[in-house]
Structure 1
Amino acid sequence: MELYYSFSVLIVITSIFYYLNLRYLKMPSSIGVMIIAMVVSIVLVFFGNRIFPDLILKFSSLMNSFDFSELLMGGILNFLLFAGGIHININDFKKERLSIITFSTVSVIISTIAVGYILYYSLQIFHFKANLIYCFLFGALISPTDPVAVLSILKNLNISRSIEIKISGESLFNDGISVVLVAVILKILEGGGQNISFSNIAILLLKEAGGGMLVGILIGYLASVAINKVKDYKASIIITLAVVMGGYLVAKSINISGPLTMVSAGLIIGNSKKMQLSTRTMKGYLGFFWELIDEILNAVLFILIGFELLLIPNVLSYWQVGIISILAVLLARYISIKIPVLIIPFKEKYSRQTIRILVWGGLRGGVSIALALSIPEIPGYEGHRNAIIAITYFVVIFSIVVQGLTINKIAQEK
């Protein structure tokens, strides 16, 4: 009953904010509902206890009842990534495969290192205390672009198909290496650094990312065969729901990347030749269903991001470090794109405008917040966890609101 109550309240709030955005703000839904949630959060933080203290207590209790990291990584993200994958043309990905592979692996590593050093030395200049290994940890969790934020914003952009595929492909596949980097840095912090070697990291990455993609392809293939056999749109919807929910349980039980499992399964089902030969009615219902799921959960996710402000202690005291972190992340993003472009012989030449769009379109979102919230409080490093959560929040909000609202203008510049 408690779970039903919490989810019911969340859906009611989502519907109200969704309506307010469409009626008055008229922004992209993900940005609009998050801004409304942030404004409500700020009002509650500053005036709530004086105006309606009982309501604040109940609402804070409701927000605390959500394990945001598990809710996102174990629930919402899987549905959204599958919905994104099922609508993507895999042939477009094949054309841009070198760029997607490079930006989702090499660029994440470069960005992690760049964020770590830039943030560390910048904080020293402004006389803030900083720990280099925690700066690298922040770099690892903030470097992957967020698939939910990116796919949501890309729907409203007027950019070339080539650039759109590069940005969306990178965001769909870069979480695997980020999760591995975060795990490695946490082991070093917790005293397990003696077991860290290049071979161990490679094995961990192969299991996390490679295993996730392999299992996703297998599940996707089996599901597409089953869908083709029954040729019924209701059965097709139930089968795809089973793929997402059951696929996550499989991925979690064998410690592989759930998000990559979902992306791979969605791509296989959406691009199966047997599926393409199925009836138009069945494909239409299936597409509409997952489009609706995508829209609802997108709104829920960004409302949760907006309300996370209530759960971060003394978040406003980190505003200076937050601004420095935003600049560090943007500079590191530029470096992580520019270096591969200069070194790797891509088929096409990257213009300044293309690089500008790739840099500004690298949005951060719920994945980074979930990874930040998953960091444990390590003895000897008290206070660092809260600092990372706070500055991650600053970067994510800037990324979604400022970059998300201005990327179309950047794309139209000559």
Structure 2
Amino acid sequence: MQTSIIIIIIGLFIFWGHYLNGIFERRSIPDVLGLMLIGMLLGPIFHLVDPTSFGQFGPLFSNLVLIFILFESGTDLRISEVKASFKESAGITTLGFFVTWVIVAVMCYLILHLPILTCLFIGSTLGGTSSAVVVGLVKKVDVRPKTATTLIMESAETDVFTLAIPLSILGLMMSGEIQAGTVLSQFIASLVIALLMGIGGAFLWSFILNKIPNLKSTKFSTPAFLFILYGVTEYLNFSGPITALSFGIAIGNLQYFEPKLLERIIPNQSIVLSQIEKDFFSELVFLLRTFFFVFIGISIQINRLDWLMWGAIITLVLYASRIIIVRLIVTKNTPLLDKSIMSIMIPKGLGAAVIATLPLQRGHVDGVIIQSICFAIILFSTLYCVALFFLVKIGLSVPFYRLFFGKDQVVVQEIEGEGTNEIA
């Protein structure tokens, strides 16, 4: 394909991404679906583009997306907010992740007969929820602020699980060693050193910025330093992604981390990303995710309908298990609408998609099936979420959820006294 045609297509994709984002705002249809559909049309349906034609650009592109989403996820995670909503979100976050992990791993082992580590990798990769989809949909329904905060914090907190755990399992998959003592010590050492490099890098970058104030006026100095930090960590055979995540968390919470003893070393106390930088990062991540979800659509294996079918079935089981989790965790006086919305908010997103590409990039024997199953579950989890959200919003599925959660109890506080009404 001619270079000029490729450049035109890139421009069209950017406009298409913004158009779909506008539809998401108006119609509650996530742009992820439209981007993956375009990719499927280009790739497995009309065979206009072959994923292998990307060559070395594919792994490089995936790593760039991974670095930026890890950094942005870290900077968006506020320790103070996590502490404030910990009681509400910790239960559903932790139980939701581990139940998803176990269900996906067991089904992949029993149905697809994959090795245990491969099954554990797939399950842990898909254990979280998509922040972009969850936040966008929660804003369009009249649930309590507490419920909205819990769902949003769940999508943020599960990033730690769905990034750190599968990356650690991937190291075991690639080494081929399952000697408990050696593997555990290597895992702990790699994780601790990666965390220290990320957090230490944040303090070092803060010190550099305070010594060279001109750097603060630039837009790409922080990601440039992040690239160096990530590359050095990977070169030393430690976890670059964990370093990127911890660097982002430390950057976003440096005032919380920073002891008083370092005030003399870092007089201004922290890096505070300006609104211009935040907007720049957001736009950069938007562009990267636009092309990456198209890449996902291109890479979906339609010729393996059995993989697509099992992806759809596994996703259905996850949605069924989510109802049980909500019933166990959420209090009885929570409105039925809130419980219904919490039961459907498990779409899988960009983080899972990027992690799913890593085994294939690193030449693992199960790389193709890992990527295909994960992509299928990402696709169907988003489709199911949109369909169920629509049914809940118009009230059509209320009788179904009432079977599981019972009658809706609403506490009405009047000016003089309190009363309790039960709504069937």
What TM-score, normalized by structure 1, do the two folds share?
0.70
Q: Verify: 1:297 aligned to 2:285, yes or no.
A: no
Question: Residue type of the partner of 1:249?
Answer: G
Is the 8 Å Cα contact of residues 311 and 380 (structure 2) preserved in structure 1? no
CA distance, structure 1, for counterparts of residue 310 and residue 71 of structure 2: 36
**1:207 CA displacement:** 3.2
For residues 252-401 of structure 1, the aligned pairs below 5 Å read: 252-273=234-255, 283-309=274-300, 312=301, 314-330=303-319, 357=342, 360-361=345-346, 363-364=348-349, 365-371=352-358, 373-374=360-361, 376=363, 378=365, 386-401=368-383
Judged with a 3 Å threshold, the aligned counterparts in structure 2 of structure 1 residues 322 and 71 are, in CA distance, closer, same or farther, namely same
Q: Sequence identity, in percent? A: 16
**1:68 CA displacement:** 3.8
Q: Verify: 1:214 aligned to 2:196, yes or no.
A: yes
Question: Residue type of the partner of 2:295?
Answer: L
CA distance, structure 1, for counterparts of residue 340 and residue 232 of structure 2: 38
CA distance, structure 1, for counterparts of residue 148 and residue 204 of structure 2: 34
Q: What residue is the counterpart of 1:127 in the other structure?
A: none
What are the Cα deviations for residues 366-389 of structure 1, in whole angstroms up to 9, with x where unaligned?
1343145347464xxxxx654443
CA distance, structure 1, for counterparts of residue 391 and residue 214 of structure 2: 44
Is the 8 Å Cα contact of residues 220 and 268 (structure 1) preserved in structure 2? yes
Question: Residue type of the partner of 1:16?
Answer: F
Q: What residue is the counterpart of 1:53 in the other structure?
A: none
Query: Which structure's residues are more often helix, by fraction?
Result: 1
State the SS of the aligned residue for 1:256.
Answer: coil
Is the 8 Å Cα contact of residues 129 and 155 (structure 2) preserved in structure 1? no
Judged with a 3 Å threshold, the aligned counterparts in structure 2 of structure 1 residues 93 and 60 are, in CA distance, closer, same or farther, namely same
Q: What residue is the counterpart of 1:160 in the other structure?
A: 148
What are the Cα deviations for residues 220-265 of structure 1, in whole angstroms up to 9, with x where unaligned?
1111233344444754533312232112102212233333322222
Is the 8 Å Cα contact of residues 80 and 297 (structure 1) preserved in structure 2? no
Question: Residue type of the partner of 1:360?
Answer: M
CA distance, structure 1, for counterparts of residue 104 and residue 224 of structure 2: 39
What are the Cα deviations for residues 135-185 of structure 1, in whole angstroms up to 9, with x where unaligned?
x62342243358794246425523532442232122144322222234435
CA distance, structure 2, for counterparts of residue 204 and residue 101 of structure 1: 29
Q: Verify: 1:91 aligned to 2:80, yes or no.
A: yes
CA distance, structure 2, for counterparts of residue 261 and residue 409 of structure 1: 41
Q: What residue is the counterpart of 1:126 in the other structure?
A: none
Judged with a 3 Å threshold, the aligned counterparts in structure 2 of structure 1 residues 377 and 239 are, in CA distance, closer, same or farther, namely closer
CA distance, structure 2, for counterparts of residue 237 and residue 307 of structure 1: 32
Q: What residue is the counterpart of 2:166 in the other structure?
A: 178
State the SS of the aligned residue for 1:361.
Answer: coil
Of the structure 1 ranges 232-241 and 243-252, higher mean CA displacement relative to structure 2 is found in 232-241
Is the 8 Å Cα contact of residues 88 and 270 (structure 1) preserved in structure 2? yes
Q: For the aligned residues, what is the CA RMSD?
A: 4.5
For residues 31-42 of structure 1, the aligned pairs below 5 Å read: 31-32=30-31, 34-39=33-38, 41-42=40-41
Is the 8 Å Cα contact of residues 244 and 262 (structure 1) preserved in structure 2? yes
Judged with a 3 Å threshold, the aligned counterparts in structure 2 of structure 1 residues 103 and 325 are, in CA distance, closer, same or farther, namely same
State the SS of the aligned residue for 1:174.
Answer: helix
Q: Verify: 1:15 aligned to 2:14, yes or no.
A: yes
Q: What residue is the counterpart of 2:55 in the other structure?
A: 65
**1:36 CA displacement:** 4.1
Higher relative contact order (CA 8 A, sep 6+): 1
State the SS of the aligned residue for 1:160.
Answer: helix
For residues 134-145 of structure 1, the aligned pairs below 5 Å read: 137-145=118-126
Question: Residue type of the partner of 1:117?
Answer: V
Question: Residue type of the partner of 2:310?
Answer: V
**1:132 CA displacement:** 5.2
**Counterpart among 202, 209, 212 of residue 227 in structure 1:** 209
Question: Residue type of the partner of 1:307?
Answer: I
Q: What residue is the counterpart of 2:142 in the other structure?
A: none
Judged with a 3 Å threshold, the aligned counterparts in structure 2 of structure 1 residues 375 and 223 are, in CA distance, closer, same or farther, namely closer
What are the Cα deviations for residues 356-412 of structure 1, in whole angstroms up to 9, with x where unaligned?
72773362531343145347464xxxxx65444332221011123432675698699
Is the 8 Å Cα contact of residues 212 and 261 (structure 1) preserved in structure 2? yes
Q: What residue is the counterpart of 2:415 in the other structure?
A: none
Q: What residue is the counterpart of 2:404 in the other structure?
A: none
CA distance, structure 1, for counterparts of residue 190 and residue 90 of structure 2: 16
**1:217 CA displacement:** 0.8
Is the 8 Å Cα contact of residues 337 and 359 (structure 1) preserved in structure 2? no
**1:287 CA displacement:** 2.2
Of the structure 1 ranges 253-262 and 140-149, higher mean CA displacement relative to structure 2 is found in 140-149
CA distance, structure 1, for counterparts of residue 61 and residue 317 of structure 2: 29
Select the structure of larger CA radius of gyration. Answer: 2
State the SS of the aligned residue for 2:138.
Answer: coil
What are the Cα deviations for residues 328-361 of structure 1, in whole angstroms up to 9, with x where unaligned?
444676788999x69xxxxx99979569727733
Judged with a 3 Å threshold, the aligned counterparts in structure 2 of structure 1 residues 42 and 363 are, in CA distance, closer, same or farther, namely same
Is the 8 Å Cα contact of residues 44 and 299 (structure 2) preserved in structure 1? no
**1:278 CA displacement:** 8.3
CA distance, structure 2, for counterparts of residue 222 and residue 167 of structure 1: 29
Count of matched residue pairs: 374
Question: Residue type of the partner of 1:285?
Answer: I
What TM-score, normalized by structure 2, do the two folds share?
0.69
